[in-house]
Structure 1
Amino acid sequence: MTKHFTSSSPAGYDVQLTRPRNLTAAGLAIVAVTYGLARYCFGLFLPEIRREFALGPETIGLIAGLSYAGYLMATFAGSWLSTVFEPRLPILLGGVAAATGMAVIGLAPDPWILALGVFVAGASPGLSYPPFSDVIVRHTEASRQNTIYAWINSGTGFGVAFAGPLALYAGADWRFAWLTFAALATAVTVWNMLALPRRGPLRTAPSGTRPVRFLLEPRARPLFAAALVFGMITAVYWTYAVELLWTLTGNAQDSILFWIVLGMAGVTGCFAGGLVGRWGLDRTYCALAVIVGFAVATLPLLIGTRIGIYVSAACFGAGFIVMTALFGMWSMQIFRQAPSIGFGFTFFLISLGQGVGPVLGGFAIPVLGQPALFVAAGLLCCGLAVLPPRD
């Protein structure tokens, strides 16, 4: 069984417990707008964006890659700012980046400005997400920390699910959708400014070598390896599943409905804390690795029927959100003295894998074909069960 986070004050800071419901709701909302909207929704509107700007595949790949580049750079900045100053600062900066980036996307007059907006929007979760590990560990009761974190992490699913109906309503008017997202991100940022607690006074200055020393922790090696591979595998699904569906059905509405099901299933990630409490982190992790692997590997086999498409989307949506929650719990279990450092590096590796995965997939598809790529990625995901967390 996994251990609960201790209630001691890491890194020499005073613990000030806060009201968990308001904190959880605010955290869930900012994850929804930064991850669910700012980072993952570019592909949903890609057909309309491509048509308006007459973009070729190479340009599209470059622009989409800027989202990952922004995230990777911001992850270290968010973790550092959280450790040196306070978690509240990078969380609010992430909300500002989400609102600004999505507004720039919605108003972009040319591909260059569009690329800038994608970069800034993609950086937003890197700033705001890792510092929440500090907030949870330092400002909530130990017995509730797994549950609170699972609810906050499930915000990605809420954001993805919200984007689908708006995409159906907006139709070809993708700019309206992005400007709506930007307005929502602004409101959520103000909410977090009012809801987030301030950290207590610093008793000991953080050492400049601390991040490196902590990241060399031997127990973290399986965590880091699994995070990198998981990112590569899930990027295959995020990048090519809708394209595969579009190619085989030629129906844009089916792809949007697929996206909605994926997001709605992701909302179930809020129950990850309860699963860990009942089964333990190790057994929950192994089960979810197999579920996500099943969703990825069987999509080419199930795509002939609409119910099969939705089964794959539901399994992947729920499994992806819960698995990311488990990676966060696993990292916070290891890096008790500097939660945001280990947490940030874990999600940096997931995103690094998500950046590498589509590139490797692009080279593999001409040789293997899309169905074989999905089957291979799914089997590899199932293999992650051999690297479970250890107490």
Structure 2
Amino acid sequence: MTKHFTSSSPAGYEMNQRQTRGLTAAGLAIVAVTYGLARYCFGLFLPDIRLEFGLTPELVGLIAGLSYLGYLAATFAGSWLSTMFEPRLPILLGGCAAAAGMALIAWSPTPAFLALGVFIAGTSPGLAYPPFSDVIVRHTEQSRQNVVYAWINSGTGFGVAFAGPLALYAGGDWRLAWLVFAGLALVITFWNGFTLPRRSPHLETGPRKVSLWILLERSARALFISSFLFGIVTAVYWTYAVDLLTTLTGNPRDAILFWIVLGIAGVTGCFAGGLVNRWGLGRAYKLLAFLVGGAIGTLPLLAASTLGMFLSAACFGAGFIVMTALFGMWSMRIFRAAPSIGFGFTFFLISLGQGAGPVLSGFLIPVTGQSMLFFGAGLICCALALVNTASGRPAPA
């Protein structure tokens, strides 16, 4: 029996330019706290956390994987709530989860509570991020959609860039940093509550049923396979890059500066919409796959110099944020009948890979070493450039 979601998104309702800018700013901010802080900053503080709790590589991998497991658990919930009710509900729930999870990390007295906090924080982008595809498709002009989405998606870079200076200020007091992150998440959640558009009943044209079988659309296979592999290889960088640099250089301050460069470079993701409009999705995708793969694979070699590690951070930060934007645009091009369903499943697969990546890495590192792990992940990412993005076509409802 075919299952359906009934969409309540008011198709055809477009916001004026001022409202669109407000929506973009609020969306960027909540992506910054849910993705940039709640999900990806565990790696930034990993050396201090590992030292305080005496964590083994295997346990580090399992705890880091919980962040991605939390995302997996929440992704379909976010897409379902967005489709059945309205996008603002899961977005606000995501903001609350970020605040609660990061507060728990800051307080955690044992590795078990730390793991729980990481899991809860990890659910936040799964709830908050996919529904923005519904907001964008239903509430903005089609000519603006790539640009608006690219700016919102670049919030990850802003969050990562903000975390670095705070880590320098906090020094070894990683708990203080996570407490500040939690408070910021709460403020931004309230901001989104006032900014996000509500459902407009007078613009409704009746319930719109969309079959979940659209996820089996043949044109989406390349998208889904690429998403999963991209998640695996990039999780290696997010989780272990700072730890690798601290081990190789013995200088934790340079490792934090590396993280700041990574985040600042990620801010360039806001230009992804213009890049795709000018170059096309296929050309941009191939270039970014090589850029991200090169940054991952060469980090152990570039770590010998400060300039080299910063170059790797800049290439990965810019490449990763733009690449995720490309996956989002690719999915919205195929699944226009149900944007948050196809979009949510695409990022579900990225996170499935990102959840498996740290766990597999935790068991591989004692055997291969961190440097060889980075080399292998970089090669796999470069191989993604062989995928053909031109096969995507809108899936029927």
Give TM-score, length-normalised by structure 2.
0.92
How far 1:101 sits from its partner (Å)? 1.0
Could you tell me which amino acid in structure 2 is paired with residue 74 of structure 1?
A: A
Match of 1:17 in 2: 14
**Alpha-carbon distance between aligned partners in 2 of 1:108 and 1:63, rounded to the nearest angstrom:** 13
Could you tell me which amino acid in structure 1 is paired with residue 12 of structure 2?
A: V
**Alpha-carbon distance between aligned partners in 1 of 2:376 and 2:43, rounded to the nearest angstrom:** 23
Cα distance change on mapping 1:12 and 1:158 into 2, 3 Å: closer
How far 1:176 sits from its partner (Å)? 1.4
Cα RMSD, aligned residues only: 1.7
**Alpha-carbon distance between aligned partners in 2 of 1:200 and 1:218, rounded to the nearest angstrom:** 34
Query: Structure 1: which 5+ runs fail to align?
Result: 1-9
How far 1:40 sits from its partner (Å)? 0.7
Of the structure 1 ranges 309-318 and 97-106, higher mean CA displacement relative to structure 2 is found in 97-106
Give % identity.
71
Match of 1:88 in 2: 88
Give TM-score, length-normalised by structure 1.
0.93
Match of 1:198 in 2: 198
Could you tell me which amino acid in structure 1 is paired with residue 42 of structure 2?
A: F
Question: Per-residue displacement from partner, 1:95-135 (whole Å, max 9, x unpaired)?
Answer: 01111111121122333322222111110000000000000
Residue pair 2:154, 2:270 contacting (<8 A) in 1 also: yes
Q: Which residues of 2 match residues 1-391 of structure 1 at below 5 A?
A: 13-18=10-15, 19-201=19-201, 203-205=205-207, 207=209, 210-211=211-212, 213-390=213-390
Residue pair 1:69, 1:119 contacting (<8 A) in 2 also: yes
Residue pair 2:65, 2:356 contacting (<8 A) in 1 also: no
**Alpha-carbon distance between aligned partners in 1 of 2:236 and 2:52, rounded to the nearest angstrom:** 26
Could you tell me which amino acid in structure 2 is paired with residue 16 of structure 1?
A: Y
How far 1:297 sits from its partner (Å)? 1.6
Could you tell me which amino acid in structure 2 is paired with residue 17 of structure 1?
A: E
**Alpha-carbon distance between aligned partners in 2 of 1:56 and 1:288, rounded to the nearest angstrom:** 34
How far 1:20 sits from its partner (Å)? 1.1
Could you tell me which amino acid in structure 1 is paired with residue 189 of structure 2?
A: T
How far 1:243 sits from its partner (Å)? 2.0
**Alpha-carbon distance between aligned partners in 2 of 1:376 and 1:60, rounded to the nearest angstrom:** 20
Cα distance change on mapping 1:256 and 1:92 into 2, 3 Å: same
How far 1:301 sits from its partner (Å)? 2.0
Could you tell me which amino acid in structure 2 is paired with residue 13 of structure 1?
A: P
**Alpha-carbon distance between aligned partners in 2 of 1:12 and 1:119, rounded to the nearest angstrom:** 30
Cα distance change on mapping 1:176 and 1:152 into 2, 3 Å: same
**Alpha-carbon distance between aligned partners in 1 of 2:26 and 2:79, rounded to the nearest angstrom:** 19
Residue pair 1:74, 1:127 contacting (<8 A) in 2 also: yes
How far 1:11 sits from its partner (Å)? 7.3
How far 1:244 sits from its partner (Å)? 1.7
Question: Per-residue displacement from partner, 1:304-341 (whole Å, max 9, x unpaired)?
Answer: 11111110110000000000000000000000010000
Question: Per-residue displacement from partner, 1:132-160 (whole Å, max 9, x unpaired)?
Answer: 00000000011110000000000000000
**Alpha-carbon distance between aligned partners in 1 of 2:146 and 2:153, rounded to the nearest angstrom:** 10
Question: Per-residue displacement from partner, 1:155-176 (whole Å, max 9, x unpaired)?
Answer: 0000000000000001122221
Of the structure 1 ranges 260-269 and 42-51, higher mean CA displacement relative to structure 2 is found in 42-51
How far 1:366 sits from its partner (Å)? 4.3
Cα distance change on mapping 1:64 and 1:297 into 2, 3 Å: closer
Could you tell me which amino acid in structure 1 is paired with residue 180 of structure 2?
A: T
Question: Per-residue displacement from partner, 1:203-251 (whole Å, max 9, x unpaired)?
Answer: 44454x722x110111100000100111111112122222221111111
Residue pair 1:14, 1:199 contacting (<8 A) in 2 also: no
Could you tell me which amino acid in structure 2 is paired with residue 123 of structure 1?
A: T
Of the structure 1 ranges 99-108 and 195-204, higher mean CA displacement relative to structure 2 is found in 195-204
How far 1:60 sits from its partner (Å)? 3.0
Cα distance change on mapping 1:116 and 1:366 into 2, 3 Å: closer
Residue pair 1:275, 1:284 contacting (<8 A) in 2 also: yes
**Alpha-carbon distance between aligned partners in 1 of 2:13 and 2:39, rounded to the nearest angstrom:** 32
Residue pair 1:83, 1:206 contacting (<8 A) in 2 also: no
1:198 partner SS: coil
Residue pair 1:12, 1:204 contacting (<8 A) in 2 also: no
Cα distance change on mapping 1:52 and 1:358 into 2, 3 Å: closer
Of the structure 1 ranges 86-95 and 10-19, higher mean CA displacement relative to structure 2 is found in 10-19
Residue pair 2:147, 2:274 contacting (<8 A) in 1 also: yes
Residue pair 2:61, 2:359 contacting (<8 A) in 1 also: no
How far 1:298 sits from its partner (Å)? 1.5
1:43 partner SS: coil
How far 1:371 sits from its partner (Å)? 2.9
**Alpha-carbon distance between aligned partners in 2 of 1:297 and 1:175, rounded to the nearest angstrom:** 32
Could you tell me which amino acid in structure 2 is paired with residue 141 of structure 1?
A: E
How far 1:27 sits from its partner (Å)? 0.2
Residue pair 2:249, 2:303 contacting (<8 A) in 1 also: no
Residue pair 1:88, 1:198 contacting (<8 A) in 2 also: yes
**Alpha-carbon distance between aligned partners in 1 of 2:11 and 2:364, rounded to the nearest angstrom:** 51
How far 1:367 sits from its partner (Å)? 4.3
1:44 partner SS: coil
Cα distance change on mapping 1:58 and 1:293 into 2, 3 Å: closer
Match of 2:395 in 1: none
Of the structure 1 ranges 169-178 and 267-276, higher mean CA displacement relative to structure 2 is found in 169-178
Of the structure 1 ranges 344-353 and 369-378, higher mean CA displacement relative to structure 2 is found in 369-378
Residue pair 1:102, 1:182 contacting (<8 A) in 2 also: yes
User: Would you say how many aligned residue pairs link Structure 1 and Structure 2?
Assistant: 380
Of the structure 1 ranges 14-23 and 254-263, higher mean CA displacement relative to structure 2 is found in 14-23
